[in-house]
């Protein structure tokens, strides 16, 4: 048979198509495997098994992808791996949003050489010299753990703390180390933490490698977990292999069947059917770490994200409503406050009008009383002066003449007081200032008070220069002094001091200090309120009249309490200074002060 070039090229084309079709059918699958002790340890542990697995299919290749626990959730969600190999309980606490098809569970455990990557559980370790023997003693301590969502490296031991009524960030502080998991026990070894939550068998594995000395550490809450490793919690099923949605069902089924068959090499891991995860879900639910317990909030967030425009409108409406309510409430409060203030002002004005009316009536009464008293007082003065004249002319009973002089002097005083009352009532008040010797005016007032109240022992000390002269109205000064001294006597004072006080170049004061208890706070805050008195037979007008008389002559009346530890009052007659008021001697004394 003759073989042409055309047949040769047909054969080459068929060979190339066969090779290319085989290349098209070849597929690479990425197996994500947790690497709790690092990438190198994961490769030494699992690469032989993946090499064997790649030989079971002509066109299928399985590549090892070591994963850190912190990156596993993101790598699964991004479809960067097709299979995952890890504790089944670990992925129940993740929120990947993907459905995993669990194919088989590891059942190989070498009791002679236990490994932290083969058993799922937790051990709570402390240093033997720490003095800690119970979980409750961890209050206020620092605890190292792998990661917040690490099942064996944190959550199982966290349940022990939770059941002991210990809460994180309140009763103890957590330090998460991440991968490699050896760091939890290394921190404890360096005494940087008080306790460490380690995956089951990690202590035994690090001891076999000569990294740690097991005798230097003590296990808290030891229990029998049916393994060669010391643990504080129950042991859970071994690691499991799961296929993600990117793996065809036919390949997942074939791979699951292959793993459940006996392996030809004893160095390869053995597999068993997947164990249910009911107990794991119970533990996660009891410590409020189950993903479904957070799904309500996740649903609310999704709903808000979907209807964010309407949610924004509703929130804006609620905000504006609250703002309007606050504004209206503030306006109502301000209006109520204004009404209350207006009412108080009206009541105060009404009280002032009532007091003014009573004062007007009092003024009219005083004017009438002064008019009526003026005539008998004039008669008394006429008879006294006539009697004195006759005694002087007849030169008999000369001892009565000084008595008649006193009577005439007091009649003159009565006349001046009546005149002051008339001027106080009239609007056109005018007083004539004259040179007054202050020491003599004070002496006359003190003498009058002693004559009227000689039964009461009240000591009066006068400390006023003899030559102090002031241009003022003597009758007003004497009337205010007598009224103040009478108040001291009525309050049962035992010691009264009268002295001079200098304010500045424009005013001088006559101070009356007693030990009779002093004024009340109400009397000091509102000193000159008419008809307010604490005397049984008083009208409450003495201080009011005295204060107004002082204002008429350009001065003022000041009230205060003593500050030297003695309970008593200080009344000051503040008088204006005029030209040639103070004597040369007193001016020198003033300058020295």
Do the domains 120-236 and 1-108+238-275 match in fold? yes
Distance CA 203, CA 211 (A): 9
* pLDDT for 528: 74
Minimum mean pLDDT among 119-123, 208-212, 422-426, 431-435: which range? 422-426
- Name the 3-class secondary structure at 30: strand
Q: What does the pLDDT average to over 470-495?
A: 86
Distance CA 233, CA 120 (A): 10
Q: What is the pTM of this model?
A: 0.45
Sign of CA dihedral 147, 152, 157, 162: positive
* Residue 256 pLDDT grade (very low, low, confident, very high; cuts 50, 70, 90): confident
| CATH of segment(s) 1-108+238-275 | 3.40.190.10
CATH 3.40.190.10 fits domain 120-236: yes
Measured CA distances, 450 to 126, 401, 470, 485, 489 (Å) = 95, 21, 25, 10, 10
Distance CA 407, CA 415 (A): 12
Q: Enumerate the domain spans of the chain.
A: 1-108+238-275, 120-236, 309-399, 431-592
Q: Which helix (H) or strand (E) holds 561?
A: strand 556-561
Closest of 191, 197, 185, 201 to residue 161, by C-alpha: 197
* Residue 13 pLDDT grade (very low, low, confident, very high; cuts 50, 70, 90): low
Pick the CATH number of 431-592 from 3.30.230.30, 3.20.20.140, 3.30.565.10, 3.40.50.720: 3.30.565.10
484 with 508: CB under 8 angstroms? no
* Residue 407 pLDDT grade (very low, low, confident, very high; cuts 50, 70, 90): confident
Sign of CA dihedral 490, 495, 498, 503: negative
Dump pLDDT digits (tens) for 62-87. 999 998 877 888 888 888 899 998 88
Q: Residue 593 pLDDT more than 50?
A: no
Distance CA 376, CA 156 (A): 113
Dump the DSSP string for 167-217.
-BTTTBEEEE--SSTHHHHHHHHTTSSSEEEEETTHHHHHHHTTS--GGGE
Minimum mean pLDDT among 325-334, 354-363, 437-446, 541-550: which range? 354-363
Tell me the average pLDDT of the chain.
79
* Residue 16 pLDDT grade (very low, low, confident, very high; cuts 50, 70, 90): very low
- Name the 3-class secondary structure at 461: strand
HSE-CB at 197 with a 13 A cutoff on CA atoms is: 33
* pLDDT for 448: 79
| Helix 308-394, helix 401-425: angle, nearest 10 | 150
**What distance lies between CA 302 and its chain's CA centroid?**
36
- Name the 3-class secondary structure at 34: strand
Dump pLDDT digits (tens) for 260-293. 886 656 667 778 888 766 777 787 777 777 666 5
- Strand pairing of 507-513 and 495-502? antiparallel
């Amino acid at each position: 048979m003759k073989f042409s070039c055309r047949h040769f090229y047909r054969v080459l084309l068929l060979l190339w198509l066969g090779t290319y079709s085989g290349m098209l059918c070849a597929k690479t699958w990425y197996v994500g495997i947790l690497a709790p002790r690092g990438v190198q340890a994961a490769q030494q542990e699992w690469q032989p098994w993946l090499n064997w697995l790649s030989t079971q299919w002509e066109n299928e290749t399985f590549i090892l992808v070591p994963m850190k626990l912190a990156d596993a959730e993101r790598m699964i969600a991004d479809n960067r791996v097709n299979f995952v190999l890890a504790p089944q309980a670990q992925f129940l606490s993740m929120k990947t949003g993907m459905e995993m098809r669990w194919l088989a569970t590891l059942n190989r455990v070498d009791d002679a050489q236990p490994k932290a990557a083969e058993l799922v559980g937790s051990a709570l370790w402390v240093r033997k010299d720490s003095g800690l023997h119970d979980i409750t003693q961890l209050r206020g301590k620092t605890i190292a753990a792998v990661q917040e969502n690490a099942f064996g490296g944190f959550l199982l031991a966290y349940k022990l703390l939770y059941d002991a009524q210990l809460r994180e960030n309140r009763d103890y502080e957590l330090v998460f180390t991440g991968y490699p998991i050896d760091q939890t026990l290394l921190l404890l070894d360096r005494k940087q933490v008080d306790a460490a939550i380690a995956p089951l068998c990690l202590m035994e594995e690090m001891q076999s490698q000569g990294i740690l000395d097991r005798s230097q550490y003590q296990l808290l809450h030891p229990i029998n977990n049916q393994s060669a490793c010391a643990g504080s919690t129950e042991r859970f099923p071994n690691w499991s292999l799961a296929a993600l949605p990117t793996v065809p069902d036919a390949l997942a089924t074939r791979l699951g069947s292959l793993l459940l068959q006996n392996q030809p090499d004893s160095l390869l891991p053995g597999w068993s059917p997947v164990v249910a995860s009911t107990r794991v879900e119970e533990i996660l639910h009891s410590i409020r770490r189950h993903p479904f317990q957070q799904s309500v909030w996740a649903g609310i967030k999704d709903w808000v994200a979907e209807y964010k425009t309407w949610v924004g409108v509703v929130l804006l409406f609620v905000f504006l409503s609250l703002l309007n309510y606050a504004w209206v409430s503030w306006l109502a409060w301000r209006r109520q406050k204004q009404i209350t203030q207006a009412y108080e002002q009206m009541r105060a004005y009404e009280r002032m009008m009532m007091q003014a009316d009573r004062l007007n009536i009092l003024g009219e009464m005083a004017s009438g009383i002064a008019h009526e008293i003026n005539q008998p007082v004039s008669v008394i003065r006429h008879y006294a002066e006539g009697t004195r004249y006759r005694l002087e002319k007849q030169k008999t009973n000369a001892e009565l003449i000084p008595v008649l002089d006193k009577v005439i002097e007091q009649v003159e005083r009565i006349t001046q007081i009546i005149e002051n009352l008339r001027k106080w009532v009239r609007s056109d008040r005018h007083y004539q200032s004259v040179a007054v010797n202050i020491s003599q005016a004070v002496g006359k007032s003190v003498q009058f008070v002693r004559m009227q109240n000689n039964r009461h022992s009240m000591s009066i000390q006068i400390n006023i220069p003899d030559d102090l002269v002031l241009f003022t109205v003597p009758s007003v000064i004497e009337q205010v002094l007598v009224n103040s001294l009478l108040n001291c006597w009525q309050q049962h004072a035992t010691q009264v001091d009268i002295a001079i006080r200098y304010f500045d170049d424009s005013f001088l004061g006559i101070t009356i200090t007693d030990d009779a208890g002093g004024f009340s706070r109400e009397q000091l805050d509102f000193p000159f309120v008419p008809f307010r008195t604490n005397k049984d037979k008083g009208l409450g007008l003495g201080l009011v009249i005295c204060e107004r008389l002082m204002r008429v002559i350009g001065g003022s009346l000041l009230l205060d309490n003593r500050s030297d530890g003695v309970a008593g009052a200080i009344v000051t007659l503040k008088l204006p200074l005029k030209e040639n008021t103070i004597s040369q001697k007193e001016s020198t004394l003033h300058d020295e002060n």
